[in-house]
């Protein structure tokens, strides 16, 4: 209906915006990461890979990196994917109010703005008044100051709660692609639940699980929300890479170093995104 | 034996469902009861004397209301821009055989997942600084649009692809002009797709904390996400009643949109698309 | 106002395919003309060229001797019914039918009247307030025809409009279309790959292959005298039997040798000379122009075609026999009768050919020998 020329003009505004505000900043990050740009220094000089050398010899950077990997592994790969798969399988080919209720609650946890859930969790985990310690109290245990005594564990559980819905939704639609006859056949030969998971679900969901893991890893890796719960503390116990970047760039105003961390994150993101797109193609 | 096994599975099913239900609902309870309490605290207590006092406090707080308006301006502005530009671009990509369009879509999706707010916050800050757009609504709107357009285009293209070209061709043969075809045929047919993209974009921008936190400076421009966060420190003590009521109000548009899309289209699930 | 349609060397090339290849055709005023051919032969493309949805690479299109090749669709005043009907899902049936009038700026009252008239013409008057999704396939098809005729176009274009209907509805709709077209007298070009549809509907048919017209003739003629073996093979169900044979002259009598039989025809009259000139030719024989006889006596050396029955299919009042002769299969159609009911799979039969109805094709250019 439209000519190639018109099509070009239809595309142009979107591409211009995307270029300026998405693609260009990525390359600019790379450029900044090679300078000593900061608000303190008067002039900006090109210093090569000095930022990266500083970074890779900094204990604080390695602390952040290790925390980030822990956070991703336990909260996303084990937690969100596991709980998501459990939810999807639990309710597969079931109906009723219980399914609806639990699924909607999970989706609500996923949709409610981060700032709000951060407040809700801060209240939930509060040492003196928090609901969690109250419940523990009923069973005769003494509550603890979760965010201070097990900060990493707290943000991991928080992030499982926060993001399980995505994996649940993805696996739910994935399970629907398995013909019911496969389960029925398994029932006929008397396969156990574990057999069904091992022999039917996992092999047939391989690409879905791959996509899911790549995506939630990517997102969790870039998640800033824990900052709202712990601010990276106590000490540096929850200072994952995104929080570390924020501190370096916007608290200490070391933009060059901040950009170098961003560049590292960009590189890791690129790897994960390529893995994901590979799965997309395979589907 | 079979009966016992079946019964066991049933019990297990209910046990697991209830446990998971509790896991998801317990942390949220506080949010839904505290705003109605006359003695708000961090504890979860059913309001003894339910009150709307906390909401009245929010409405009377100029800063809080200003933040609501800011959130609306920023989220609606970006959503409008994303939906319009994504629809135009998607139409072009779907209907015209452009050289290398597969590559374009691929690159867009790649960059939109790689360049996250975290990875781009330093250059985005300086970009807006250079453009004189730091601490402006326009700066926020443009930064969000750039970030959400690729996904918007991707969703929209899927949608346009699903609308048969013969509707347009039939209108052409009927003698309709380009404007008539756009108004009478294309817009109504891809409208639902635009609504989906709009809901999706709006919900995420409305909730976003990081970009305004970094790109805005003055209190008068902050959206709710940042404004709520600063309430804690205002007088050293968190105003629990105010914060909880404000949070609940802030959540209402998101929950309503969810219910709306769920009713209207069924909560369509787009694998791999968020943020 | 009646309109004729003419193509001069009409050609349309896509990147690597020639969809329409130097097509020359003239369609008369008020004619019901069918484009018939296998999938991918360029029928739809031809139609889209007439409508102005595609621009020809070469050649011209005339409506009433006016060159419209460069006109936009709007100025050609044609109407098209698409295979998927393309009824706008967001409009009521009434709005759908009225759309061509609306874009032409016809006043609302006038429009309502003409919508009603068109709808009544197609017997869908009571459906006007519904949406397309609430109609059956047959009803949707009628709505799309109503939308096409509402503004009284000069030419109707149909692209396989019946292919989405079930067999019974298709025959009903076919009769109705034929009736309607004759009543309105609007020049109609109808695309189909279903030869029975083309034969039933059209005054004349163009058989297309690879973007070219292989034969353009009246429906009867196309059926009885296919111009080449492609047409012969395409038209008729089951298609004509084609037998390759060598020509041996025994004096003045040509003996036709097939794979493992010989046939001699007595009644060749004026074709004799032309047969003599050839070493090889192809015989075309319609299934109904043959008869089967059971070979009772195994020893007797029969002349003509001899073979074994491979399959028997009952088609209502007729029975279709597939007879294996050497490595080839021929099909014979018989009226059901007592004699026929005695024939069974595995029987040895001889095939008698109704000599007068045999067609002769050149072995090389596959064209009909007159
Ligand atoms: N837009 C296009 N781009 C490239 N090739 C095309 C295009 N449209 C048609 N073709 C090619 O042109 C040839 C003729 O196509 P056309 O659609 O006219 O066939 P048809 O006779 O209508 O077949 P069918 O019975 O399957 O509808 C085909 O080889 C087709 O692949
Ligand atoms: Mg076709």
Contacts of C77 in chain B (CB under 8 A): 175
Domain boundaries, chain B: 1-51, 62-274
Q: Pick B173's closest partner by Cβ from C53, C88, C90.
A: C53
Residue among C30, C349, C26 at smallest CA distance from C206: C26
Residue to substitute from C45, C71, C72, C73, interface B, most B β-carbons within 10 A: C73
Segment A70-120, tens digit of pLDDT: 999 999 999 999 999 989 888 887 788 888 889 888 888 888 998 899 989
Output the CA C12–ligand 1 centroid distance in Å.
Answer: 10
- Looking at the structure, give the CATH architecture of the domain made up of residues A28-282: Orthogonal Bundle (1.10)
Residue B268 has pLDDT above 60, yes or no: no
Of C37, C40, C161, which is best to mutate to test ligand 1, by the most ligand atoms within 8 angstroms of its C-beta? C40
- E-strand ranges in C187-227 read 187-192, 204-209, 212-218
- Taking a contact as any Cβ pair under 8 Å apart, which residues of chain B between 244 and 273 contact chain C? none
Place of tokens 């279903």: C194
Q: CA-to-CA distance for C275 and C268, rounded, in angstroms?
A: 9
The residue contributing the CA closest to ligand 1 atom 19 is C40
Residue to substitute from A22, A105, A158, interface B, most B β-carbons within 10 A: A22
Tell me the backbone φ, ψ of residue C25, rounded to 5 degrees. -155, 150
Q: Is B170 on the interface with C (CB under 8 A)?
A: yes
| Cα B6-B11-B12 angle, rounded to 5 deg | 95
Output the CA C198–ligand 2 centroid distance in Å.
Answer: 15
Q: Could C82 and B170 be called an inter-chain contact, meaning their C-beta atoms sit closer than 8 Å?
A: yes
C40 lines ligand 1 (CB under 6 A): yes
Residue among B42, B174, A139, A231 at smallest CA distance from C103: B174
Q: CA Rg, chain B, in Å? A: 24
The strand pairing partners of A75, in sequence order, are: none
Lowest mean pLDDT among A67-71, B11-15, C355-359: C355-359
Q: Is B178 helix (H, G, I), strand (E, B) or coil?
A: helix
* Average pLDDT over chain C, rounded to an integer: 85
- Looking at the structure, give the CATH architecture of the domain made up of residues B62-274: Orthogonal Bundle (1.10)
Q: CA-to-CA distance for C284 and A95, rounded, in angstroms?
A: 65
What is the predicted pLDDT for the residue at A164?
92
Average pLDDT estimate for C205-217: 90
Residue B6 has pLDDT above 90, yes or no: no
Residue among A228, A237, A265 at smallest CA distance from A249: A265
Question: In the 8-state DSSP scheme, what is residue C240?
Answer: P
What is the predicted pLDDT for the residue at B271?
41
What is the predicted pLDDT for the residue at B154?
87
Contacts of B75 in chain A (CB under 8 A): none
C192 lines ligand 1 (CB under 6 A): no
Contacts of B193 in chain C (CB under 8 A): none
* Average pLDDT over chain B, rounded to an integer: 85
Q: Is C153 helix (H, G, I), strand (E, B) or coil?
A: coil
Domain boundaries, chain A: 28-282
Residue in chain A lying closest to B10 (CA): A90
Sign of CA dihedral C293, C299, C301, C307: positive
Q: Is B192 on the interface with C (CB under 8 A)?
A: no
Segment B161-206, tens digit of pLDDT: 888 889 999 999 998 988 899 889 998 998 888 888 898 889 889 9
Contacts of A228 in chain B (CB under 8 A): 209, 229
List, as one string, the DSSP characters of chain A: ---HHHHHHHHHHHHHHHIIIIIHHHHHHHHHTTB---SSSSS--B-TTHHHHHHHT-HHHHHHHHHHHHHIIIIIIIIIHHHHHHHHHHTTT--SHHHHHHHHHHHHHHHS-HHHHHHHHHHHT-TTT-HHHHHHHHTTPPP--HHHHSHHHHHHHHHHHHHHHHHHHHHHHHHTTS-HHHHHHHHHTT--HHHHIIIIIHHHTHHHHHHHHHHHHHHHHT--THHHHHTT-STTTT--HHHHHHIIIIIS--HHHHHHHHHHHHHHHHHHHHHHHHHHHH-
Output the CA C133–ligand 1 centroid distance in Å.
Answer: 28
Q: Pick B175's closest partner by Cβ from C86, C89, C100.
A: C100
Q: CA-to-CA distance for A230 and A224, rounded, in angstroms?
A: 11
Output the CA C365–ligand 1 centroid distance in Å.
Answer: 26
List, as one string, the DSSP characters of B245-268: HHHHHHHHHHHHHHHHHHHHT---
Cis-peptide, bond into residue C238, ω within 30° of zero: yes
Residue in chain C lying closest to B171 (CA): C100
Q: Could B114 and A266 be called an inter-chain contact, meaning their C-beta atoms sit closer than 8 Å?
A: yes
Q: Which of B2-6, B106-110, C118-122, C139-143 has the highest mean pLDDT?
A: C139-143
C338: its two tokens:
């007592």
What is the predicted pLDDT for the residue at B272?
36
**Complex ipTM:** 0.85
Segment A21-38, tens digit of pLDDT: 988 988 888 888 888 777
Inter-residue contact C52 to C69 (CB < 8 Å): no
Query: Cβ-count burial of B16 within 10 angstroms (0-12 exposed, 13-18 middle, 19+ buried)?
Result: middle
Long-range contacts of range C220-229, CB-CB < 8 Å, 24 or more positions apart?
C223/C199, C225/C359, C225/C368, C226/C284, C226/C359, C226/C368, C227/C367, C227/C368, C228/C361, C228/C365, C228/C366, C228/C367, C228/C368, C229/C282, C229/C284, C229/C361, C229/C366
């Amino acid at each position: 209906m439209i000519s190639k020329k018109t099509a070009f003009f239809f595309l142009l505004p979107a591409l211009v915006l995307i270029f300026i505000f998405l693609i260009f900043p990525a390359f600019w990050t790379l450029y900044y990461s090679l300078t000593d740009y900061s608000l303190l220094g008067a002039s900006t000089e090109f210093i090569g890979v000095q930022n990266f050398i500083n970074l890779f010899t900094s204990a604080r950077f390695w602390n952040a990196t290790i925390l980030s990997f822990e956070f991703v592994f336990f909260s996303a790969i084990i937690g969100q994917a596991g709980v998501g798969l459990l939810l999807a399988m639990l309710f597969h080919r079931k109906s009723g109010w219980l399914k609806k209720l639990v699924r909607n609650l999970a989706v609500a946890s996923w949709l409610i703005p981060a700032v709000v859930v951060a407040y809700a969790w801060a209240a939930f985990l509060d040492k003196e008044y928090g609901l969690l310690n109250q419940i523990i109290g009923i069973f005769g245990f003494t509550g603890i100051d979760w965010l201070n005594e097990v900060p990493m564990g707290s943000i991991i559980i928080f992030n499982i709660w926060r993001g399980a819905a995505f994996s649940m939704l993805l696996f739910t639609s994935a399970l629907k692609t398995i013909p019911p006859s496969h389960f029925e056949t398994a029932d006929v030969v008397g396969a156990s639940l574990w057999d069904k998971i091992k022999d039917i679900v996992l092999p047939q969901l391989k690409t879905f699980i791959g996509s899911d893991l790549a995506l939630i890893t990517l997102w969790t890796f870039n998640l800033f929300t824990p900052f709202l719960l712990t601010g990276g503390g106590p000490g540096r116990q929850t200072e994952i890479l995104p929080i570390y970047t924020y501190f370096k760039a916007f608290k200490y105003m070391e933009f060059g170093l901040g950009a170098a961390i961003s560049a590292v994150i960009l590189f890791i993101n690129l790897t994960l995104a390529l893995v994901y797109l590979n799965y997309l193609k395979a589907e | 034996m079979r009966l016992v096994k079946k019964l066991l599975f049933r019990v297990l099913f209910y046990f697991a469902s209830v446990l998971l239900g509790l896991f998801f609902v317990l942390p949220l309870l506080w949010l839904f009861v505290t705003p109605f309490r006359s003695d708000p605290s961090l504890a979860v207590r059913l309001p003894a004397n339910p009150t709307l006092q906390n909401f009245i406090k929010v409405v009377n707080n100029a800063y809080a209301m200003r933040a609501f308006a800011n959130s609306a301006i920023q989220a609606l502005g970006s959503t409008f821009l994303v939906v319009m530009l994504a629809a135009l671009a998607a139409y072009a990509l779907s209907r015209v055989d452009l050289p290398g369009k597969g590559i374009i879509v691929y690159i867009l999706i790649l960059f939109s997942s790689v360049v996250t707010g975290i990875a781009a916050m330093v250059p985005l800050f300086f970009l807006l600084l250079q453009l004189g757009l730091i601490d402006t609504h326009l700066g926020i709107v443009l930064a969000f649009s750039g970030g959400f357009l690729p996904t918007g285009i991707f969703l929209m293209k899927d949608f346009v692809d699903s609308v048969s070209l013969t509707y347009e061709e039939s209108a052409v043969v009927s003698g309709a002009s380009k404007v008539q075809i756009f108004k009478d045929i294309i817009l109504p047919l891809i409208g639902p797709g635009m609504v989906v993209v709009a809901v999706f974009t709006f919900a995420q921008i409305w909730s976003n904390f990081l970009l305004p936190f970094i790109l805005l400076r003055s209190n008068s421009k902050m959206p709710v996400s940042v404004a709520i966060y600063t309430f804690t420190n205002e007088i050293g003590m968190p105003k629990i009643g105010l914060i909880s009521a404000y949070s609940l109000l802030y959540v209402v548009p998101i929950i309503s949109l969810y219910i709306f899309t769920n009713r209207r289209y069924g909560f369509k699930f787009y694998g791999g698309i968020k943020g | 106002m009646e309109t004729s349609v003419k193509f001069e060397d009409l050609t349309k090339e896509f990147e690597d395919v020639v969809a329409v290849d130097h097509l020359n055709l003239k369609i008369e005023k008020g004619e019901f003309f069918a484009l018939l051919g296998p999938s991918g032969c360029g029928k739809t493309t031809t139609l889209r060229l007439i409508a102005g949805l595609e621009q020809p690479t070469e050649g011209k299109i005339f409506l009433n001797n006016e060159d419209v090749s460069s006109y936009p669709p709007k100025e050609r005043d044609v109407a098209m019914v698409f295979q998927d009907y393309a009824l706008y899902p967001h409009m009521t049936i009434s709005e759908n039918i009225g759309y061509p009038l609306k874009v032409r700026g016809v006043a609302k009252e006038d429009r309502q009247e003409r919508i009603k008239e068109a709808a009544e013409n197609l017997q869908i008057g009571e459906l006007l307030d519904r949406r397309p999704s609430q109609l059956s396939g047959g009803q949707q098809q009628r709505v799309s025809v109503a939308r096409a005729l509402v503004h009284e176009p000069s030419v109707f274009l149909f692209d396989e409009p019946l292919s989405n209907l079930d067999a019974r509805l298709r025959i009903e709709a076919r009769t109705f279309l034929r009736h309607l077209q004759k009543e309105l007298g609007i020049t109609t070009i109808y695309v189909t790959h279903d030869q029975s549809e083309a034969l039933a509907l059209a005054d004349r048919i163009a058989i297309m292959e690879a973007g070219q017209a292989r034969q353009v003739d009246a429906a009867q003629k196309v059926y009885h005298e296919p111009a080449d073996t492609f047409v012969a093979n395409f038209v008729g169900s089951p298609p004509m039997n084609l037998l390759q044979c060598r020509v041996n002259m025994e004096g003045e009598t040509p003996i036709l040798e097939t794979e493992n039989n010989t046939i001699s025809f007595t009644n060749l009259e004026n074709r004799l000379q032309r047969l003599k000139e050839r070493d090889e030719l192809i015989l075309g024989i319609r299934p109904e122009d043959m008869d089967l006889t059971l070979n009772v006596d195994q020893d007797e050396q029969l002349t003509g075609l001899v073979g074994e029955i491979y399959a028997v299919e009952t088609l209502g009042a007729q029975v279709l026999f597939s007879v294996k002769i050497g490595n080839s299969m021929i099909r014979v159609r018989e009226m059901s009768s007592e004699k026929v009911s005695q024939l069974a799979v595995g029987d040895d039969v001889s095939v008698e050919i109704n000599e007068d109805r045999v067609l002769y094709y050149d072995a090389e250019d596959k064209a009909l020998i007159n």
